[in-house]
Amino acid sequence: MLSPGGVAITTWFLFDKREFPMMQWFQNMLFVNEFDQTNAALFARAWLVDLPRHLGLRMTRIVPPAIRGFQWAIEIRMPTGGPHVDFPEDRPPYGLARPAAGTLYRVKLGPRP
């Protein structure tokens, strides 16, 4: 639930569904761990682009990950909460940076530009 004027700060692991041509139109999620779905679920980027509009919401800020394949940080608001923004190109470098096993970490949006 999002109250009027509220903001949801969300993080998403995304993938490009075009790289998986065998997936059906209704399949928009990949699991990293079939036994613990909270471990990581990856969502089709095109599906996420359409989701807020379908729900009457809008994405007002999108911060790509510093390393390709990590979490995108996305602000989602009611339509009165600012203009809708488009996804930037997915151009972060490839790399490897794993958090220590069993630790939690946060993605910070930082100050607004």
Q: What pLDDT does 33 receive? A: 77
DSSP secondary structure letters along 12-61 = EEEE-GGG-TTS-TT--EEES-SS-TTS-EEEEHHHHHHHHHHTT-EEEE
Q: What pLDDT does 40 receive? A: 77
pTM: 0.72
Going from the C-alpha of 72 to that of each of 57, 69, 95, 109, the distances in angstroms are: 18, 9, 16, 10
> Could you list the mean pLDDT of each consecutive 10-residue stretch along the chain, which spans 113 residues?
84 91 93 74 91 88 86 86 77 71 50 59
Look-up: residue for tokens 């790289």?
19
Q: What pLDDT does 111 receive? A: 60
Q: What pLDDT does 39 receive? A: 72
Q: What angle do CA 79, 84, 90 make, to 5 degrees?
A: 145
